[in-house]
Amino acid sequence: MLACRAVNIQTQALRPAGALDAHPAEVITCQSEGDLSQVLARATREQRRVTMIGGQRSFGEQFLPVAGGLGIDVSRLETGARIVEHLDTGRLLVRVGGGTTFEQLHAHFPGHRVRFVPTSDRVTIAGALAACTHSAAGYFATAVRAFRLLLSSGEVLDCSAAASGLARELFDVVPGSFGALGVTTFIDLELDPIAPQQALGVHARYAAPRLDEGFFAALDAAKDDPRFDEGMGGVIYGNRGRTLVLADERLPVDHAQPEHLRALLTDDNLEEQAFTHGLANRFPRIAESTVTKTYPQGIERWAPWYGFQFYQRGYDRSYEILGRRGLKYSLARLVGVDRRVPVAHQSWFFPRSITRAFVEAYFKVLDAFPGSEKQGEQQDIVLLDPCPFPAHSLGRTQQGVGVLTSSYSLASLSPDQRARIFTFFKQVSHTLYEQLPAVRISLCKQVHCDRDVLRRMHRGWADLMQHYKSQVDPRGVLTSRHLEMLLDR
Ligand SMILES: Cc1cc2nc3c(=O)[nH]c(=O)nc-3n(C[C@H](O)[C@H](O)[C@H](O)COP(=O)(O)OP(=O)(O)OC[C@H]3O[C@@H](n4cnc5c(N)ncnc54)[C@H](O)[C@@H]3O)c2cc1C
């Protein structure tokens, strides 16, 4: 039987973020690269398929082993965080273990940050790279300068822009490969300096009672205004209901910050935030009313930079916080707050130039599901620069990218109502892909997409992966339920 030096195989219940169910799987924890290559060599000999497990913040089956497969928990791989080089204008080049979370990265280098991060600080650096994550301003992988890739054969490749041959090609292809090509054990990142007291301004550039022309104009203007390079995005509630466009700028360090104008969900009281996320999930219409009242058009609120970048920290900790013993936790559960904060969560990528066509087609599909909009938490849209990564869900693009993310609260719904939301999501992917063939569902947030639509949409991605897998993992040792669905022909 496979075993690491220190830790043996255990059966664990693995539960993707926002999901209702957990999945039991055999998992082994590896704490060093040596342990890991031993386990990989043994798995290859025994023809056992393995899946890398990072922070377990995926919304789908990305870190779930296949039937009979083995999960390798790499979240505790030695971090070895260190400065590699002091760059100009205060920037740092640092090396960290792939299992380092953004929370740990901040603890190691508190005066510096990665600009484009996912909104939970419990995501690992390798997990963010594997999914080619983005923020409301850019792609995380643009901060990555190099990484060490351990192949299933035990061979190690040092991948960077300066490498040659396969290692150079893999530097481009690993972001978005979901662990299909190798294990990223160490990652070199470029960090920007940031003052601990640095605040960001969140501007409500547009607010309207219905989706209209002004929303799209404000969205484009916010994206094209260089002042708002910390992020931007629009929110649409219900079926073409209330809209909001927010745009974010870096404030002067001595900027006055009145407490009553603090942006929602950005402080460090994570317990309070877990309650807020739990209540918003249970009562989405109250959340809509609070957000739209907080951000009338023209208002500016402020946020501390860390709380702003990771504003979903509370959501991510809700499972442990809301499950605690005590009166307030019991009361929350009594009114129906589910500590899992279950969501149906889906994202679609499309060329920025068809944002409007995408949104119109999306709501036409929603028209056929009257009443469902009442269960929707929100639909949000961000506009990003062209994507340089070939394995990103939309691939490498010449033009800007639009992302629409739709979140439905599942906490208070009957099984029939839930099934109706899932059908709506399936229908959006199916119909929009037929009408607008450039559309791709995100490989990060795709749970409710039909298998055949998903595979047709991402055939180019699968071909790219197979091309490199034949060179770096010819026996197909590295997989997951997610990869098996996409790559198995
Ligand atoms: C609250 C919350 C907010 C989020 N916000 C955003 C956001 O703003 N933008 C965004 O794009 N995404 C966002 N996500 C999604 C999240 O960033 C991705 O799902 C990410 O991949 C999760 O990484 P993880 O460390 O949790 O790894 P896991 O979920 O455990 O694994 C993710 C993938 O990485 C692979 N993997 C893990 N470690 C390694 C390794 N060392 N080597 C090779 N492969 C590896 C796994 O096999 C799997 O395919 C959010 C998720 C949550 C829960």
CATH number, domain of 93, equals 3.30.465.10
Residues 6+ apart with CB under 8 A from 142: 116, 388
> Measuring from atom 11 of ligand 1, which residue has the nearest CA?
133
- Testing ligand 1's pocket by substitution, the residue of 23, 57, 96 carrying the most ligand atoms inside 8 A of its CB is 57
Please tell me the distance between residue 446's alpha carbon and the centre of ligand 1 in angstroms: 13
Query: Is residue 347 within 6 Å of ligand 1 at its C-beta?
Result: no
Do residues 248 and 136 touch, judged by C-beta distance below 8 A? yes
- Helix or strand holding residue 93 (H, E): strand 92-97
Query: Residue 281: CB within 6 Å of ligand 1?
Result: no
CA angle at 416 for the pair 410 and 422, rounded to the nearest 5°: 60
Residue 185 Cα: closest atom of ligand 1: 41
How far, in Å, is the centroid of ligand 1 from the Cα of 26? 20
Q: Determine the structural domain holding residue 440 and report its residue range.
A: 199-450
Last residue of a domain, one of 195, 228, 253: 195
pLDDT at 326: 93
**Same-domain pairing of 441 and 389:** yes
- CB 124 less than 6 A from any atom of ligand 1: yes
Residue 200, φ and ψ in degrees, nearest 5: -115, 145
For β-strands 70-73 and 23-29, DSSP reports them as parallel
486 belongs to a structural domain:
no
Asked if residue 304 and residue 157 are part of one domain, the reply reads no
Cα separation of 78 and 76, whole Å?
A: 6
Q: What is d(CA 275, CA 280) in angstroms, rounded to the nearest whole number?
A: 8
Residue 98 has φ and ψ, to the nearest 5°, of -60, -30
Distances (CA, A) of 438 to 233, 350, 357, 401, 489: 21, 6, 12, 11, 23
Q: Do residues 49 and 487 make contact, with C-beta atoms less than 8 angstroms apart?
A: no
Instruction: State whether the beta carbon of 119 lies less than 6 angstroms from ligand 1.
Output: yes
Q: What's the pLDDT score for residue 10?
A: 94
Ligand 1 near 118 CB (within 6 A):
yes
Q: Tell which one of 133, 403, 469, 477 to mutate to probe ligand 1, the residue whose CB is within 8 A of the most ligand atoms.
A: 133
Does an H or E element contain 50, and which? strand 50-53
Asked if residue 1 is part of any domain, the answer here is no
Give the CA distances from residue 139 to residues 215, 388, 394, in Å, rounded to whole numbers and listed in that order: 24, 9, 13
Same structural domain for residues 187 and 128? yes
Q: Do 298 and 371 lie in a common domain?
A: yes
**What CATH number is given to the structural domain containing 322?**
3.30.70.2520
386 lies in the same domain as 257 = yes
Q: Has residue 289 been placed in a domain?
A: yes
User: How far, in Å, CA of 133 to CA of 424, rounded?
Assistant: 25
> Which residue from 30, 63, 104 has its CB within 8 A of the most atoms of ligand 1, so it is best to mutate?
63
Which pLDDT does position 7 carry in this prediction? 58
Task: Going from the first residue of the chain to its last (489 residues), give the mean pLDDT of each consecutive group of 10, the final group possibly shorter.
Answer: 63 96 96 93 92 98 97 91 97 97 97 98 98 98 98 96 98 98 98 96 98 98 98 98 98 90 95 93 93 97 97 95 93 93 96 98 98 92 98 98 96 93 98 98 96 96 98 97 90
| 0.85 surpassed by pTM | yes
In angstroms, the CA 393 to CA 101 distance is 23
d(CA 433, CA 449): 11
Q: How many angstroms is it from 129 CA to the middle of ligand 1?
A: 8
Same domain, 333 and 209: yes
Q: For residues 230 and 361, state if they share a domain.
A: yes
Last residue of a domain, one of 195, 225, 245: 195
Q: Which residues of 332-365 are buried (b: 16+ CB within 10 A; e: fewer)?
A: beeeebbbbbbbbbbbbbbbbebbeebbebbbeb
Whether 273 and 161 share a structural domain: no
Q: How far is the CA of 330 from the centre of ligand 1 (A)?
A: 31
Residue type, 420: R
How many structural domains compose the chain?
A: 2
**Nearest by Cα to 378 from 414, 354, 346:** 346
CB atoms within 10 A of CB 98: 27
Residue 205 lies in a domain: yes
3-state helix, strand, coil in the chain (%, to 5): 35, 25, 40
The whole-angstrom separation of Cα 364 and Cα 352 is: 19
In the structure encoding, which two tokens stand for residue 49, read together? 């398929």
